[in-house]
Amino acid sequence: MIEARNLWKKYGDKVVLERISVQVEEGEFVTLVGTSGCGKSTFLKMLLGTETLTRGELLLDGSPVPGEPGPDRGIVFQQYSVFPHMTVLENVMAARGFARPGLTGLLFGAARRQAREEALAMLKEVGLEHASALYPAELSGGMRQRLAIAQALLGRPRILLLDEPFGALDPGIRADMHELVLRLWREYKLTVFMVTHDLKEGFYLGTRLWVFDKVRHDPQAPDAYGASITYDLPVGQVDRSTLDEIDRDLTLTAKETEKHYENH
């Protein structure tokens, strides 16, 4: 379904990603881990279509990923913005309304009724039916992420992109969100790409885990080389020592980066 062929991404002279070549089948749940700033979000944005690649190819069903977001790809960020003056239900309906072609994106009559029903059904799916009349400021962190997921799923995407969606949540709430995401993944037969800074979360949720890290590293010129996928692991077949090894590698890269910025 997704294929990257020798993909590179640079911002100016800074190489962020290099030599990424991977294939992902429909229905996989890929978790992405790596040190801060190594390009995980950038990779998701390229899948979403809001960021371009510098070199190589990124294919969806054999064709280049469209250069703009579409209903087939939904995304949830750690921090996301909603319309504060609209209720939960209105926010979900707005996400639907703005997805329609037209000048204002507003829905009227039968289309509005249908959007309302779809939005309510989706709120029920994510366990927010009781909160449809609340305003965003009245929601807890977990509820807000449920709302974000409802909006992302409304266009019936095949691909769900999750960028540290639960990073700011308490452990108990996180566990509830894990169950929700796993249920939706199965129910909607989604292909999921999820960035997390938590290796354990990556292993628990994913069917496949990618570690982004630099293969080549020049302490004098940290921007000269980008990250590649250094581990591509089928979850469930990984032993404790491999986990420890990944942990060590990531800590080392983080320390080297820190040292460089302390010195400059």
- Give the count of residues interacting with ligand ATP (CB under 6 A): 10
- Smallest distance from ligand ATP to CB 235, Å: 20
Q: How far is CA 86 from CA 31, 96, 129, 132, 209, in A?
A: 33, 14, 16, 10, 38
Contact 212, 40 (CB under 8 A): yes
CA atoms within 13 A on the CB side of 249: 20
What are residue 159's DSSP bridge partners? 73, 191
41 part of the interface to ligand ATP, by CB under 6 A: yes
Among 7, 18, 40, 97, binds ligand ATP (CB under 6 A): 40
At residue 138, the 3 state secondary structure works out as: helix
Number of H helices, E strands in the chain: 7, 10
Binding flag, residue 23, ligand ATP (CB under 6 A): no
34 makes contact with ligand ATP (CB under 6 A): yes
Quick check: 39 binds ligand ATP (CB under 6 A)? yes
Nearer to ligand ATP, 111 or 221 (CB): 221
Cα atoms in the Cβ-side hemisphere of radius 13 Å centred on 99 = 22
- Is residue 174 within the footprint of ligand ATP (CB under 6 A)? no
As measured in angstroms, the least distance from the Cβ of 99 to ligand ATP is 25
In the complex, the smallest distance separating the C-beta of residue 101 from ligand ATP, rounded to whole angstroms, is: 28
- Using CB under 6 A, list all residues that contact ligand ATP: 11, 16, 34, 36-42
